[in-house]
């Protein structure tokens, strides 16, 4: 019975995602990375990131080759197993090359200690 419930949830989540271009993300806003998958497209292998845009909204973005080559399978396993919590930051586009600029930031929070 649990397997059927998990499958039903997976189908529901799959239809809830929409793919967007990285450039449609708000610049300088952190997006929680929910999942990372290596996939093949007509343009070649890439990484598909699932991002939490808000409490109720999730989107998927395709990374360009230069970013997808940086993420190892171990990195993606850590993201998918929730061993690490990371955020994607879209920094805008490079003025000269027009390529988009991304960063990944850890969501580890270190509280300040008051003396």
For the residues 102-112, what does the mean pLDDT come to? Answer: 70
Sheet with 58-62, strands from edge to edge, namely 18-19, 58-62, 44-52, 30-41, 86-93, 100-106
**Which of the four pLDDT bands, split at 50, 70 and 90, describes residue 2?**
low
Which CATH fold would you assign to the domain 17-106?
Answer: OB fold (Dihydrolipoamide Acetyltransferase, E2P) (2.40.50)
**Which of the four pLDDT bands, split at 50, 70 and 90, describes residue 112?**
very low
Domain residue limits, the chain: 17-106
Q: What does the alpha-carbon distance between residue 4 and residue 94 come to, in Å, rounded to a whole number?
A: 47
**Which of the four pLDDT bands, split at 50, 70 and 90, describes residue 55?**
confident
pLDDT at res. 47: 96
């Amino acid at each position: 019975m649990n397997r059927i419930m998990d499958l039903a949830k997976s189908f529901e989540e799959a239809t809830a995602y929409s793919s967007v271009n990285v450039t449609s993300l708000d610049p300088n806003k952190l997006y929680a990375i929910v999942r990372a998958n290596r996939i093949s497209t007509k343009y070649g292998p890439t990484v598909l990131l699932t991002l939490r845009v808000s409490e109720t909204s999730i989107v998927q973005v395709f990374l360009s080759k230069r970013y997808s080559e940086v993420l190892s399978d171990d990195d993606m396993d850590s993201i998918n197993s929730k061993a690490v919590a990371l955020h994607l930051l879209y920094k805008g586009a490079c003025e000269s090359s027009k390529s988009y600029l991304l960063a990944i930031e850890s969501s580890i929070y270190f509280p300040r200690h008051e003396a």
